[in-house]
Amino acid sequence: MKLPNLNEARKRTNKETEYIYLNQNYDKKAFVGEKYFLKTYGCQMNVHDGEEIASRLESLGFTPTDTLEQADIIILNTCAIRENAHDKLYGFLGRCKHAKKNNKNLIIGICGCMAQEESVVKELIAKHPYVDIVFGTHNIHELQDLILNRKNKQNIEVYSCEGNVYENISYKRDSNIKAWVNIQYGCDKFCTYCIVPYTRGKQRSRKSSEIIKEVEQLVKNGYQEVTLLGQNVNAYGKDLKDEMSFAQLLEAVAKTNIARVRFVTSHPWDFTDEMIETIAKYDNIMPYIHLPLQSGSSRILKLMGRRYTKEEYLNLYAKIKKAMPNCAITTDIIVGFPNETDEDFKETLDVVNKCQYDSAFTFIFSPREGTPAAKMEDETDMTTKEERLQELNKLINSYSLAANKKYIDKIVPVLIEGISEKDKNKVFGYTDTMKLVNITNGQDKIGQIVNVKITDAKSFSLDGIIEE
Ligand code: 5AD
Ligand code: SF4
């Protein structure tokens, strides 16, 4: 058993990343006829990890179920980015404990970013002994062995900061139209509020040759869209000798002729002119950039360790819009960072007014154990923070609506992804700028990119009809 240690995770060793080619012929069908329930919280990285976990469970013979009570194994893939994640974990564990009373053989597993937190793992050991296995973000490849080797005690396998790159991973992809492709793991930015560099370890880029091979295979399998995934995609390759830049990688991926290429998440500090040129040059690189601002106040940005000022961010924004006027830009913003003043908050509103984002994810600062910001003194009360969040959301929603209204009566290409969950008579898809469109016809067009006439716009979606 190896426990995670946040202090240890802060130290980056000089150990070179190992590239390990997994043997995929895992054929131990020990659980045929048994069912798995997998619940994933958090970011796209976690969602994609969930696709690997599902594949590993199925290699053991498990089949999926959406009903917790029917499960023979429950895996909870956790997120640690904000504190409310803890409530979700412990709430969920209550349900698992109850399910285990009715099914003594039920296996309960906890993984994901919270499994990389020392205090969480200690609490699982001390207070939740009915949890059978715990594995971290670096140990997913060990899942089958962890399940097979547990012996009436918790089987815990978590590493803190080291991480390798595993190739030949099998995924049970959620979609056969669009796919996530990891290009990089971990993060070395250490923004002062963020737990990710601790839970996911140092930045490790995959080799470009492997990434291209994966995308080429996806094209062969009929996929229309790939999203290149990393905590900080524009720093791609900086941890390797003689590797491509992110712009070059984007270009190489675009040249595979996949219909659509997307990427998340970009850090403004690493965003180069070369990237802007490449995105503008290729029709199959989507004109959509998620560009986290976090705060509009240069003073707070400095405390956050973001490495750019308000002015530098606005300059980058202007450069992108100059090269691609129709590029959609979305963002992440944190309000209530320790000792954020009204003046600081006004600076954030000012940037929102200048950038008029297509949409934004907004958060109240949540102190994360082990991060520098969690130790900063903070005198701002929660009511003020909540009021700021509300004011910010109101402003952002007004810009989202205005941006969406510009689409009314336009004809835009949409990749149709499936039947709408809310209305079975409709299908849904996304524009190249990542706007969700609900469409009244087109059940026979799933998986295709078709021209859609936009008929109405709301803050979070568009309505449309396929142009025959
Ligand atoms: N508190 C609040 N929001 C956070 N984020 C990351 N860490 C924290 C935190 N401690 C937000 C950032 C990031 C997004 C994924 O989550 O805005 O971009
Ligand atoms: Fe966290 Fe900053 Fe890394 Fe993003 S860039 S994952 S916010 S440390």
pLDDT, tens digit only, all 468 positions of the chain: 666 777 777 777 778 889 999 887 666 788 999 999 999 999 999 999 999 999 999 999 999 999 999 999 999 999 999 888 888 899 999 999 999 999 989 999 999 999 988 888 889 888 998 999 999 898 899 899 999 988 767 777 777 666 789 999 999 999 999 999 999 999 999 999 999 998 898 899 999 999 999 999 999 999 999 999 999 999 999 999 999 999 999 999 999 999 999 999 999 999 999 999 999 999 999 999 999 999 999 999 999 999 999 999 999 999 999 999 999 999 999 999 999 999 999 999 999 999 999 999 999 999 998 899 999 999 999 999 999 999 999 999 999 999 999 999 999 999 999 999 888 999 999 999 999 999 998 899 999 999 999 999 999 999 999 987
**Interior CA angle at 414 toward 408 and 415, to 5°?**
160
- CA 329 centroid distance within chain: 17
- Rounded to the nearest angstrom, the distance between the alpha carbon of 232 and the centre of ligand 2 is 7
Centre of ligand 2 from the C-alpha of residue 187, in Å: 6
**What local confidence, expressed as pLDDT, does residue 86 receive?**
83
| Residue-range domains of the chain with CATH | 6-21+28-157 (3.40.50.12160), 173-286 (3.30.750.210), 292-405 (3.30.750.200), 411-466 (2.40.50.140)
Residue nearest to atom 1 of ligand 2 (CA): 194
pLDDT of residue 422: 86
Q: Are 327 and 290 in contact (CB under 8 A)?
A: no
**Those residues with Cβ within 8 angstroms of residue 359's Cβ, 6 or more apart along the chain or in another chain:** 330, 396, 400, 403, 460
437 Cβ contact list (under 8 Å, min separation 6): 412, 414, 428, 429, 430, 431, 452, 454, 461, 462, 463, 464
Probe residue for ligand 1, chosen from 229, 294, 334 as the CB with the greatest number of ligand atoms within 8 Å: 334
Q: Which residues line ligand 1 (CB under 6 A)?
A: 81-82, 193-194, 292, 294, 332, 334, 363, 365-366, 368
**Ligand 1 closest atom vs CA 43:** 15
Which of 45, 193, 198 has most ligand 1 atoms within 8 Å of CB, for mutation? 193
| CA 184 to ligand 2 center in whole angstroms | 13
pLDDT value at residue 2? 64
User: Which listed ligand is nearest to 200 at the C-alpha?
Assistant: 2
Contact 156, 1 (CB under 8 A): yes
Looking at all shown ligands, the one closest to residue 307's CA atom is: 2
pLDDT of residue 367: 95
Ligand 2 binding pocket includes 334 (Cβ within 6 Å): no
Q: What is the C-alpha separation between 60 and 266, in angstroms, rounded? A: 37
What distance lies between CA 251 and its chain's CA centroid?
A: 22
Ligand lying nearest the CA atom of residue 340: 1
| Ligand 2 pocket check for 231: Cβ under 6 Å | yes
What is the whole-number distance in angstroms between the Cα of residue 383 and the centre of ligand 2?
27
Q: Measure 301 CA to ligand 1 centroid, in angstroms.
A: 13
Q: Which residues pair with 180 in a beta bridge?
A: 227
For tokens 């796209």, the residue is 44
What Å distances lie between residue 27 and 31, 60, 61, 70, 264, CA to CA? Answer: 11, 7, 9, 24, 34
Tell how far the Cα of 103 is from the centroid of ligand 2, in angstroms. Answer: 41
Rg (CA), the chain: 23
191 CB near ligand 2 (under 6 Å): yes
Ligand nearest the Cα of residue 363 is 1
The whole-angstrom separation of Cα 73 and Cα 36 is 5
Q: State the ligand closest to the CA atom of 333.
A: 1
Measured distance CA(56)–CA(168) in Å, rounded: 12
Rounded distance, CA 43 to CA 361, Å? 12
How far is the centre of ligand 1, averaged over its atoms, from the C-alpha of 31 (Å)? 39
For residue 197 and ligand 2, the question of a CB distance below 6 A is answered with: yes
